[in-house]
Structures are given as C-alpha cells and as structure tokens.
Amino acid sequence: MTLHDPNCLFCKIIAGQIPSKKVYEDEELFAFHDIHPWAPVHFLMVPKQHIPSMAQLQPEHAGLVGRMMVLAPQLAAQEGCRPYPQGGFRVMVNTGDDGGQEVHHLHLHVIGGPRPWLKG
C-alpha cells in the first residue's frame, strides 16, 4: 500500500486537487459530503493513507479503523443526525466489486436523517 495513489479520486480530494465539502480533517482522516447523497446526512470518512479496501486492512490498521468508528457518531451528530435511540445513522463499508465498492480507497459511508431515504 502507498501513502497516496495519484490516480485515486479520493486521494485527489484529500490533496485538494478536486473540490469537496469538508466535514472533518486531522492528520490521519478526511471526511466530506457525498456528491450523490442517499439521505439528508451522507458523508464519507476516508483514511489519508491510500488503503484500497477493507480487504487490505492489516492488524496495524486497527487503531485507525477504531478511530473512524468512534468519530462517526460525533460527526453524524455534528452534521444533523438526531440522537440515539429515536434518531441514529448507518455506517456502511462497501468492499470490492461484488460489495458495491466504486472507488477503491477505503471509506465509510455515514448516512442518516429522517426517513425515508433514497436507498436502504
């Protein structure tokens, strides 16, 4: 795995080469709104390191993925999801072609807001 793939759409977004509506950024993670949202709240959270998919995760990535999962509810609330248990959100990771992954850079979809949603 590389730190950056010059042909990767998400690496270009992280680098600022393609504009995005940023939700969050730190030294390891970048979150931005989905350009085709399925719900009132729909953003993507990606590691800055280019990891092609969940299938390529290694034990050394456990802390990074853990941080993503802990950060997801904080950002969901920040972006307008109602609190648990009446509110909530969905976290989804598509992996590989059969799993519906369109961009081969690990990313979490965080989706929420009042239903019905466009998908799901």
Give the 3-state DSSP-derived string for 8-36, with helices as H, strands as E and coil as C: CHHHHHHCCCCCCCEEEECCCEEEEECCC
Q: Quick one: CA dihedral 86, 41, 32, 60, positive or negative?
A: positive
Cα-to-chain-centroid distance, residue 77: 15
Q: Which residues are catalytic?
A: 107
Domain 9-112 annotated CATH 3.30.428.10: yes
* pLDDT (tens digit per residue) in 51-108: 999 999 999 999 999 999 999 999 999 999 999 999 999 999 999 999 999 999 999 9
Rounded CA-CA distance 35/67 in Å is 24
